[in-house]
Amino acid sequence: MSTFPTGEQAFLCGARQGGAYPTLPDHRLLAYGREQCARYPGTSASAAFLAPLCPPAAADSRRELGAEQAEYDRERAEAQAECDRFRHRPLTEPVEVARVLEFSEIGLQAYEDHQDSQEDPVMHQDLVGSATGSLHIYLAADFEQCVTTETYRRRPPVEVEGWDKAIEVGYRSPTGDFRLRDPFDAPELPNLAVAGAGHYRVRVHYREPGRDAWTPQHLLVQVYPGRGDQVVDLKRTTRRAGGR
């Protein structure tokens, strides 16, 4: 059950948030709250405003919060089911696999704290940008993201079927601590630098969200040790190779 602070002090703190009622003494603000509670629900004051001081408003607030949490949990479960339905099955055994359901408004970034690290890498196909110690992956802001990372000791087979984009870039890890994260959230994904500091190839596979059904977008990031800064559109090169 949803809980929140109750009592006079909790009411005063909540009521004065944002600089409201700056000149009204505490005793008069409390009197106002009790008056509004006596008239509740026939008052313009919200249940959330009155809840710390007014048991009927608190009960309504708990019901509203419970309903909101239930709706959030339902939507989250549906998104996770969509992630599970399209779970990637590696063709060769990875060193490590991580899966997470994200909601990032600016995509995922890796930035290593080192003097050689560079900021603002050039983006390719509006999907991924890479520079020494810095990698950015662009994602649609309004949709959840089913994110999978896989690390390998050697180059895995190329997979493009079912993906809208598949781009491979080079990356140099100056510290050996290469972690993708939402910059505004706690890190959730493991270190991708499986061989420590050095050169890597990073494959970024992307599937668009279901914009009408509001289903998540899908991201698969495969990382393996390898030199080279060339940017490869894997879908284009695979089509070309298949057409020979």
Q: What is the mean pLDDT of residues 62-80?
A: 91
Instruction: Report d(CA 140, CA 73) in Å as an integer.
Output: 22
Domain boundaries, the chain: 8-79, 86-242
Provide the pLDDT confidence category of residue 213 given band limits of 50, 70 and 90.
confident
Instruction: Report d(CA 125, CA 129) in Å as an integer.
Output: 9
Residues 88-120 have pLDDT tens digits of: 999 999 999 999 998 888 899 999 999 888 888
**Contact of 33 with 9, CB cutoff 8 Å:** no
Q: What is the pLDDT of residue 118?
A: 86
> How high does pLDDT run on average in the chain?
92
Please state which architecture CATH assigns to domain 86-242: Sandwich (2.60)
Query: pTM of the predicted model, to two decimals?
Result: 0.79
Give the contacts of 37 (CB within 8 A, at least 6 positions apart).
Answer: 50, 53, 54, 56, 57
Does position 142 have pLDDT exceeding 80, yes or no? yes
**Contact of 204 with 167, CB cutoff 8 Å:** yes
Instruction: Report d(CA 116, CA 109) in Å as an integer.
Output: 17
Does position 212 have pLDDT exceeding 50, yes or no? yes
Name the 3-class secondary structure at 204.
Answer: strand
The maximal CA–CA distance of the chain, rounded, in angstroms, is 84
Nearest to 1 by CA among 60, 51, 48, 63: 63
Going through the chain in order, the beta strands assigned E by DSSP cover 96-102, 108-111, 123-124, 128-131, 134-137, 145-151, 165-173, 198-207, 217-225, 232-233
Q: What is the pLDDT of residue 120?
A: 81
Report the run of H or E that residue 33 belongs to, with start and end: helix 26-39
Residue 177 dihedral angles phi and psi, to the nearest 5°: -120, 85
Cis check: omega of the bond before 183, within 30 degrees of 0 = no
Provide the 10 A C-beta neighbour count for residue 118.
14
Report the run of H or E that residue 146 belongs to, with start and end: strand 145-151
| Residue linked to tokens 């339905």 | 85
Q: What is the pLDDT of residue 2?
A: 53
Instruction: Report d(CA 225, CA 200) in Å as an integer.
Output: 4
Q: What is the pLDDT of residue 1?
A: 45
Q: What is the mean pLDDT of residues 61-73?
A: 92
Instruction: Report d(CA 141, CA 149) in Å as an integer.
Output: 20
Instruction: Report d(CA 128, CA 209) in Å as an integer.
Output: 17
